[in-house]
Amino acid sequence: MTVIEDIAEMQRWHDAQPIVLVPTMGALHSGHGQLIRHGRELAGDGGSLVVSIFVNPTQFGPGEDFDAYPRAFDDDCTLCKEAGANLVFHPSADQMYHGDASITVAENSLTETLCGPSRPGHFDGVCTVVAKLFNIVRPDIAVFGKKDYQQLAVLRRMGRDLNFPIDIVGAETVREDGGLAMSSRNRYLSSEERNQAPAIRKALLAMAESNELGAPARIEIGREILAKEAPLGKIDYLEIVDRETMGKVERITRPALAAAAVFFDGARLIDNIEIMP
């Protein structure tokens, strides 16, 4: 497996077969491993699989965990190699962002709900760095996890609106025993918080399985479960939105998404579940 840190070298690297990109911020776990293996399947025997590892400073807001975000590059490379990656792209922040950079990519519709209000500027940072990765790696396919469903919707819209000739694929969320979505931030949880955190998934399942047509009634069901089973958690949001527009819905009449973000003392955890009418 090859490791490239220089952008110009990455741009010179080319394979005649399809290139699949799996963007990550490192601190990889078995959920990332599944994402990378899915990318390997999409690349096929003759294609090339690139995993980018870059902790992107522009998607962290003031007071967020950029400095504390775990970094374990050697372990990450081992996982990438075992999961079938051909190449790891690992640029520095100085490589990715010029000191006088003045151009960014902004989204102003799909980010008005869920994580958008809670993390101002976050999705602009995501769009900017992913657009740069698309231009540097030049993949045919890019794979993102559905755990960050709003991010997936935003990047699909960016691909459409900016005419990136890239197939953006959403991969299913990988979970721990008990249903907690795998996340690099799970390592921040205390043992008691970890015991309570699976209630996020339980609340979302109850919202999805309810016979209530109205979204507010389903949301109240989820809130009651979290209040009872995750008292250490503080709800950032618990919403039901349209799966394409990310706009809040009052009644489940088309494909929707139940989504949650919950603060524990050590981490902010997100999760979601798709709902059909």
Q: Which of 32, 38, 90, 122 is catalytic?
A: 32
Is residue 50 within 8 Å of residue 137, measured between CB atoms?
Answer: yes
Residue 268 CA from chain centroid, whole number: 13
32 included as an active-site residue: yes
Return the active site residues: 32
